Homo-oligomer: A and B are copies of this chain.
Amino acid sequence: MIGVNEEQAIAILTAYLSPKKGRQVGVELGIGDDAAILKTPGISQVISVDAAIEGVHYRRPWLSPDELAGRAFHAAASDLAAMGARPTAALTQITLPRDISRSQFQRLAQGQAFAAAELACPIVGGNITGGRSLDIVTTVVGQPWTKQGALLRRTSLRAGDELWLIGCVGLARAGLFLLQKDSLVDERPQTFRRINSKVGAASEKKAALEKLLRESRLSKKRRLSALRQLALLSFRCPQALVRSGRSLVGRARAAMDVSDGLAKDLHHLGRGSDCCVVVDATSLRRAAAPSAFADLCEAEGWEFDDMILQGGEDFCLLASGPRSRRPRGAQVIGHIEKGRGVQWNDAGQASALPLGGFHHVSF
């Protein structure tokens, strides 16, 4: 195998990431100097960092290099989505082991370029070093969508507000479990998943699968097969819900993304406020995933509630706000009351939701 050194890697990245069509909005100076220079609009800027660490967040046989790049980018951008912010610039630190080939790195750079274009968030700088594992650390910078500069924080709960879920939760965890099951027999942890499809084809595939799953006359076998594919795609190619985040601005009083697991993040949402987050189990089960997800859980021997409550890397949004301001696409999964902590209401039975959900499957 012919590896790629740091100088070559920088040249590849620069080639893929340099802007082709004039200057980028919000960027005064991109890749190439000691630091990037951002134009600032005179309002607040939002900044966050996230990591994709090999052996912790992924293993090579689970992803292609471009999927890894896209996943790392969207995971970081999801934090800005949750702030109701518009991503404007990103920086990436890549730790590059010697056994990464030039063509693998090219595919990774293509994945970064695709995600940057998809999110209209140019990569303006970064750093490449050697290392033992292929890790990507992404810093994202954003701005409020409006000149008024409104942003969404986690902690502004108010009793009487609704609790909203935007997007699915649980599918990515299902995808992870399917990959872990497969990788028990995997012998080559250094080998990336090989794919022939073009970079960034996941969105179309996802849409096609979701459409297929809405068909009522699907056989159970085909339904399960479609769900498995959807679960794998949810893990491999998550999407930061930037547009949904925008739709929450001026409507939600509080918002955050789910990345640590829904149960844990429900606790994060309430933390520090004098409010209790009340989850309606029936509504959550209906909202969290396609209806056939229960069949997949049954077929695989997973606890349905556990998959949802532990689910994290779908990067759905959790928000709360007044009923009159609920945006399209937000599904009601509970409400806010005076009090503390998180309450789980299941068929008339109320109990405190533990931090880790009711069951904890460790892996």
Residues of B within 8 A of A131 (CB): 53, 55-56, 133, 135
Q: Are B35 and A142 in contact (CB under 8 A)?
A: yes
Q: Are B256 and A47 in contact (CB under 8 A)?
A: no
A154 within 8 A of B: yes
A298 within 8 A of B: no
A41 within 8 A of B: yes
Known: A33-B153, A40-B43, A256-B34. A48 touches B135 (CB 8 A): no
Bitwise interface map of A from 247 to 265 toward B, beta carbon under 8 Å scored 1, else 0: 0000000001100000000
Residues of B within 8 A of A56 (CB): 129-131
For chain A, the count of residues having a C-beta within 8 Å of the partner chain is 57
Looking at chain A's contact residues, is the secondary structure mostly helix, strand, loop, or mixed?
strand
Known: A40-B42, A91-B139. A34 touches B257 (CB 8 A): yes
Bitwise interface map of A from 25 to 38 toward B, beta carbon under 8 Å scored 1, else 0: 00011001111111
Residues of B within 8 A of A80 (CB): 34-35
Q: Are B95 and A53 in contact (CB under 8 A)?
A: yes
User: What's the minimum C-beta distance from A54 to chain B, rounded to whole angstroms?
Assistant: 8
A50 within 8 A of B: yes
A70 within 8 A of B: no
Residues of B within 8 A of A266 (CB): none
Query: Quick one: closest B residue to A154, CB to CB?
Result: B33
A39 within 8 A of B: yes
Name the one of B46, B51, B130 contacting A36, with C-beta atoms under 8 angstroms: B46
Pick the 8 closest A-B CB pairs, nearest first.
A35-B48, A40-B40, A42-B42, A34-B82, A139-B139, A34-B79, A137-B137, A38-B45
